[in-house]
Structure 1
Amino acid sequence: MTTNNFSKLEEIKIALNAKFFERENEVEAILIALLSRQHMLMIGPAGTAKSALSVEIAKIVQGTEYFQWLLTRFSTPEEVFGPLSLKDLEQGVYKRNTATKMPEAHLVFLDEIFKSNSAILNSLLTLINERLFYNNGLPIEVPLMSVIGASNEYPDEEEGLEALFDRFLLRFEIDYIADETNFVSMMKGAGQHQPMPSMTMEELIQLQFFTDMVAIPDEIYETLSKIRMGLRDEGIRPSDRRFKQSLSVLQAKALINQRQVVKVDDIVILENALWETVDQKDTVSLIVRSHAQDVVTRAIDSIQNEANEVFNSMLKDNSTDAGMEATQKMKALVADLNKLKKHNQSRSMDIDPILDKVKVMQQEILDSILEPMDFENPNDKQTVDIPF
């Protein structure tokens, strides 16, 4: 993997984030979908840049065969897969002319995908999952890399679209821009006219190859097993296939972060992959996030939370006794962080900022103890054993 490949990915990510406000997660996800050859679904109201983001990706990857279509319940197979060849039909051959249609595309955007009807559905399922299109009864391999689906709403249970919904490994809910500053910037067209970076199809294929080469440590498999058990305890049972496909997403996530090894915290992205129904989303997110942190990260978070609790408690009770107790606790937390750093030198960049913050808290508590003491008046002088 060359530095140039890494820098191109980063440039593309930065440029897309500058153009599409509050779409950082979706920008990263669509790049991950391309690198891992998986499919992504975006659900949200009209006018939230779902199709615009897909079109921009197709422009960025030069040489991409791109197909986009708005599905309705009246859509026909000809619109998506191509018209029947009249010449072949005259000879009794039922064959479609697939030129410029979905069977010949690398990247596909299907809007209102859950409006798909039964005439289209079966071929769509096979094409998306197996990358095969049956033309005149013969299976033809298609060059499809990723399908980006979009919908304004989730499918109703009685519509029988569970299989189609399951084909999308990554699922994201999108809403309108929330921050007013971002909204104004969007209205002014900020980022719309800057040149976009690009890559060739050959470079994308090379990136996909290197994605497949990203190492997955045993710790990742063990963590996924724990997540699976945690989900089962809540009655949530993602398929074995979904877990298997998720590995490629983790590899792509690591590659985008310029690593050749998957880390435990990469697993957070699977909160967008392991739920089946809307009411499972929050539970899945909670379980995934509880496991998607390595031991060092969990220790740092625990120490930081305890330090905040001690400091806030001291603010409420500013007595000398409370200050003494808080100082002792802060001293112990500093020791814990130093010990953690000693045994995890490679994580110093993660530990040092928290260590500095806890030391500042410790000093502020000491200052609060010393300030009330009037050492000028011998009668008011106190004997205090400061636990430095």
Structure 2
Amino acid sequence: MTHPTSLPQAAQAFRRFFGELRETYLERETLFTQIELALLCREHVLVVGPPGTAKSAIASAVLGRIVDEKTGGPSLFAKQIAESTVQTDLIGPVDFKVLTETGRTEYITDDGMLGAVHAFLDEVFDGRDMLLRSILNVLHERELKHGRRVTSGRIECAIMTSNRYLSEVLARSPELLLAFADRLSFIAFVPKSFARRASRAAMLHRFMHGARPDLRVSLTLQQLDLLQEAVEKVKVSSQVLEGVELLADGLERSLSAQVAKLPDYVPTKYFSQRSVVKALWALKAAVVRDQIYQHPDRQLEATIEDLEALRWFFLLGGPSSADAEALLKVAVDPRERAQLEIVRLEQRTFDETLAKVRNELVSGVEREATALAAGEDLSAAEALARSFQPGLASITAQRLLVKLVPGPRHQDNRSPLLGAARGLVTAVEQRLARGMTSQQGDPAAAGGVNAPEGRGGLQLLTSFKDALELCRSVPELRSQFNPLCESSARLLEQMLEMIALSAEGVEFEDGLKIEGLVALADNLEEEISQVSALSGLLAEGAPAAMERLRVADMAVRRRVVSSLRRRAAAAFQAPRPAGKRDPFETLSTDSRRLTQLEKSLQVLDPSQPGLKQELLQPLGLAYAKQVLSTTPFERIEQYARAAQMVAENLRQEGLSPDAVIAACRDIIEQRLVEHARMLSREVASPPPAPNAVVNGDAYTFYRNSFSVRAPDGELAALLGLDNQLSFAQPQTAASFLSDGVRQAVAQAELVFAHTRIKYLRSWLTQLLTVLLPELEAPKGKAEAERTFERLVRSRFPLLALKEGELVRLRGVLGTLGAMQGELGESAKKLSLQLRGIDEDFGRFSKRVLEMRTTL
């Protein structure tokens, strides 16, 4: 075999191939037409009809004789479907080597229908529904998905046959028939009988003489490839595309109306977006088929007349209207009659719908012209020529882009739109030529259409962008795209300079607040971004200018951010009026304002961070000094909580507290030393009166005078505060607080401890003086109980045991005893005195308790 060198040779082979088939299989013209279209556009065919109508013979005769020039044989997968057929029978067996070695399930698809160019599936509706759905998915997608693996196939065209009527399939599974109607491009019905006597006579004559089909003409895959490539080249105008849409919509409405009249009727075609796309390929195949059979010199471009061929796509293929009438007269089987009625009904509906579509397409020029309203765009372009308005220019450019891309269906309606587009582009070019003019001298500059444009304005940038997009997208305007890019680049450079100057001018505006700076930064960033977006369109038309704009963009962003930072610093350094606001509220407010500003500035130029830290540090220090120098406290732990709150608030506002707290060290130490001096005031410690020793007054005096006026644990609280503030201690120091502060607090607490211990010793001594004689010469149990009650009434046991005063004092003295020098030694001596009190009281209380139990 030799490969044809031209498309005409392939067309001749195709024509001879199917001509021989038509001579052999009589009254099957529609079926062969559908198969021809399916082969040309690489789609599939379903053939239904009663047994004995040569469906399988025709499928085999077609697909079995399309051979590969390289092998001399067909690339055909053939399978008769039965209820026992499984998926591997169709897609290929499992690769057991892969399964045993890796545990993964893979299929040898080369042995299935995906491995062949053509497939013949006989009695397709005898399979299970799930199998049939999987067949449809594989045929439609031309690939097998299993897990993460996707295997593409060679399959182009499959012919499926069934001895069932469509009504039987519908009764069995309506969803299955719907799936077939949506995924298959062609469905054909082959009637039981011949419509013409001559055909029946010819068949009997062949039978009498034992003649068998003698098919000698073959068609090669390579020849078919050439014809399929021609199908891909077929052009379809917008008007014909409109015809396809109108035909699909009209048929769907008309056939749906027939369903209301005939409840048993179901349209053969399911009208979806998928079916409309397939219809387009069927139309292109019909153009190539017409070139093969009727008009070899025609151009590969679809016309309105070619819409006639879509009847074989949208309808159930079958005998012609005349043949259907003849067959209905002799048909006995109700299923056969019903199928013929469907063929006749759909053919009549198609003819009526196609006639309406042709009429609509003829009047479509005027109808489309009215819808496009090109006059409005022409008027807008003329208005822009007189006085440029950015908003109007943008709206008009966007509107024209929608109308011109892909464009009107009728070419006559394109000219006025192009005239409006050219007028708009001319107006934009004139505006670009004026540069950055503020139009200050225009008498209408008080707010009319010629009002000053300032730095350029977002609307102005948008109008340029829309005009560039229009020129880039519309072929007729393409010649103006590059010059428009160059003009736009020059104006954009001026705009960027104006943006930078406007930011630098802010440094001379004393009244501008931080909120104003945030709004200005956001506005400038939006303008610069608009310029950048517009400059991106220049890459194609003016690449050198785009690079200049990129460099200018970066420089302008740096200039803008630097100017706004300087203005913000000046605003925060200016003296502020004293107010009654909470200091943290003031800091928090400033922090939020600076956070907003810093975010806006970082969007402009991420390379210049740190504005908030820079400006908020002095404010944070002022806040910390105010809180730490004015917060009242009676205990060091209260002051420690205030210091902790300051540090946490600073962190919350994004400030590092280290430097702030370090700068407040003198204030903190001054407050602590002052606190220690206040604590060191002398607390009167007179010995308790004799009656007060026993009746509880001594306890009351101790609690009111010492526990309130001379609190303990201050040194421990000071050490805790020192540890808490260690993050801010100087690098050369061992701790944050100085030794002098610790000495002052320790000295004050030592005085407290000495005063308390002195009072406790005096109290206990007098108590023992009163009660001890009673223990020396007890007179009986009643006397022992009296002594016990007097001891309890004194409340010394309550203070020492239940309230743990002696333990608390021991802890205070332990902390003080760790101090170096004379202060530590004094604390140790006091610890010995405290131990003496503890031991004396222990011995005495033990004797009292023993006496109560022994007497």
**Could you state the TM-score of these two structures normalised by the residue count of structure 2?**
0.32
Partner of 1:216: 236
Query: Given the alignment of the two structures, is residue 203 of structure 1 paired with residue 223 of structure 2, yes or no?
Result: yes
Matches of residues 27-66 of structure 1 in structure 2 within 5 Å?
Answer: 27-63=32-68, 64-66=74-76
For the structure 1 residues 28 and 280, does the alpha-carbon distance in structure 2 shift closer, same or farther, using more than 3 Å as the test? Answer: closer
Deviation at 1:21, TM superposition (A): 0.7
How far apart are residue 235 of structure 1 and its match? 6.2
Q: Higher strand fraction: Structure 1 or Structure 2?
A: 1
Paired residues of 1:266 and 1:292 also in contact (CA < 8 A)? no
Give the Cα–Cα distance (whole angstroms) in 1 for the partners of residues 130 and 172 of structure 2.
Answer: 17
Change (3 A) 1:134 1:39: same
Does 1:290 pair with 2:358?
A: no
Q: Contact 1:95 / 1:136 at 8 angstroms: preserved in 2? A: no
Aligned-partner residue type, residue 38 of structure 2: A
Any idea what SS the aligned residue of 2:109 has? coil
Rounded Cα–Cα distance in structure 2 between residues aligned with 1:280 and 1:185? 28
Q: Which moved more, 1:191-200 or 1:204-213?
A: 191-200
Q: Post-superposition shift, 1:165?
A: 3.7
Q: 1:227 aligns with which of 215, 240, 247?
A: 247
Residue 7 (structure 1) aligns with:
12
Higher mean displacement: 25-34 or 151-160: 151-160
Cα deviation, 1:139-171, whole Å, max 9, x if unaligned, reads: 111111111111222213552312234221111
Residue type of the alignment partner of 1:186: M
Aligned residue number for residue 178 of structure 1? 195
- Superposition pairs for residues 69-148 of structure 1, below 5 Å? 69-91=79-101, 92-135=103-146, 137-148=148-159
**Would the alpha carbon gap of residues 30 and 235 (structure 1) be closer, same or farther in structure 2, given more than 3 Å must change?**
closer
Please report how far the alpha carbon of residue 20 of structure 1 lies from its aligned counterpart in structure 2 after TM superposition. 0.8
AA partner of residue 80 (structure 2): L
Q: Aligned runs of 1:235-274 on 2, under 5 Å?
A: 236=256, 238-258=271-291, 259=298, 260-274=300-314
Q: Is the 8 A contact 2:244 2:280 kept in 1?
A: no
Q: Which amino acid aligns with 2:170?
A: D
Equivalent residue of 1:103, what SS? helix
Q: Secondary structure at the match of 2:235?
A: coil
- 3-state SS, counterpart of residue 147 of structure 1: strand
CA drift of 1:174 comes to 0.7
Q: Structure 2: which amino acid aligns with 1:241?
A: R
Deviations 1:110-164 (A, max 9, x none): 1222223245234312211111113565111111111111122221355231223
Judging changes above 3 Å, is the alpha-carbon distance between structure 1 residues 292 and 212 closer, same or farther for their aligned structure 2 residues? Answer: farther
- Offset of residue 16 of structure 1: 1.0
Does the CA-based 8 Å contact 1:216-1:262 persist in structure 2? yes
CA separation of 1:183/1:225 partners in 2, compared to 1, >3 Å: closer, same or farther?
same
Kept after mapping to 1: 8 A contact 2:182/2:272: no
Within 2, Cα distance between the matches of 1:204 and 1:239?
Answer: 29
Mapped to 2, the partners of 1:93 and 1:187 lie a distance apart of 57
Tell me the distance in 1 between the aligned counterparts of 2:146 and 2:99: 13
* 1:225/1:81 CA distance change after superposition, 3 Å: closer
Deviation at 1:184, TM superposition (A): 2.8
Do the aligned partners of 1:10 and 1:256 also contact (CA within 8 Å) in 2? Answer: no
The whole-number CA distance in structure 2 between the counterparts of 1:186 and 1:283 is 29
2:348 corresponds to which letter in structure 1?
L
Q: TM-score, normalised by structure 1?
A: 0.68
SS of the residue 2:64 aligns to: helix
CA distance in 2, matches of 1:196, 1:265: 34
Superposed CA RMSD: 2.9
Q: Gaps (5+ residues) in structure 1?
A: 300-388
3-state DSSP of counterpart to 2:151:
strand
Q: 1:214 to 1:291 in 2, by over 3 A?
A: farther
> What is the CA-CA distance between 1:242 and the residue it aligns to?
0.4
Provide the C-alpha distance between the structure 2 equivalents of 1:212 and 1:180, rounded to a whole number of angstroms. 41
Going by fraction, where is helix more abundant, 1 or 2? 2
Q: Take 1:166 and 1:197, find their aligned partners in 2: how far apart are those partners? A: 34
Q: Secondary structure at the match of 1:10?
A: helix
Q: Which has the higher contact order (CA 8 A, sep 6+)?
A: 1
- Residues in 2 aligned to 1:283 and 1:30: alpha-carbon distance in whole angstroms: 22
Query: Structure 1 pair 23/111, CA: closer, same or farther in 2 (3 Å)?
Result: same
Asked if 1 retains the 8 angstrom alpha-carbon contact of 2:110 and 2:116, the reply is: no
Residue deviations 1:162-213, cap 9 Å, x none?
2234221111111133323212322343984545322321221111010111
Structure showing greater Rg: 2
Deviations 1:51-103 (A, max 9, x none): 11121122332123111222122211222222222222212121223343212
Amino acid paired to 1:251:
K
Change (3 A) 1:193 1:70: closer
Q: Is the 8 A contact 1:227 1:287 kept in 2?
A: no
Stretch deviating more after TM superposition (249-258 or 273-282): 273-282
- Provide the secondary structure at the position in 2 that maps to 1:5: helix
Q: Which residue of 2 aligns with 1:352?
A: none
Q: In the comparison of the two structures, how many residue pairs are matched? A: 297
- Asked whether 1:156 is paired with 2:170, we answer yes
State the one-letter code of the partner of 1:76: V
Counterpart Cα distance in 1 of 2:342 and 2:205: 38
Distance 1:179 1:90 in 2: 61
Give per-residue Cα distances to partners, 1:223-271, cap 9 Å, x unaligned.
2232233234336461121011111111111211214232334323433
C-alpha distance in 1 between matches for 2:206 and 2:242 = 46
* Cα distance in 1 for residues equivalent to 2:252 and 2:31: 28
Aligned to 2:204: 187
Contact preservation (8 Å) 2:55, 2:161: yes
Cα–Cα, structure 1 residues 163 and 35, in superposed 2: closer, same or farther, change >3 Å?
A: same
Identity %: 22
Q: In 2, distance between residues paired with 1:193 and 1:283?
A: 34
1:233-382 paired onto structure 2 within 5 Å:
233-234=253-254, 236=256, 238-258=271-291, 259=298, 260-274=300-314, 284-292=346-354
Task: Extract unaligned runs of 5+ from structure 2.
Answer: 1-5, 69-73, 257-269, 292-297, 317-337, 363-855
SS in 1 for 2:19: helix
Matched to 1:273, the amino acid is: F
Distance 1:229 1:82, change over 3 A: closer
Partner SS for 1:171: strand
Offset at residue 283 of structure 1 (A): 5.1
Q: Is the Cα contact below 8 Å between 2:136 and 2:183 reproduced in 1?
A: yes
Q: 1:265 to 1:171 in 2, by over 3 A?
A: farther
* CA drift at 1:6: 2.1
- Residue 280 (structure 1) shift: 6.8
SS of equivalent to 1:247: helix
Alpha-carbon distance in 1 for matches of 2:249, 2:215: 47
Q: Secondary structure at the match of 1:234?
A: helix
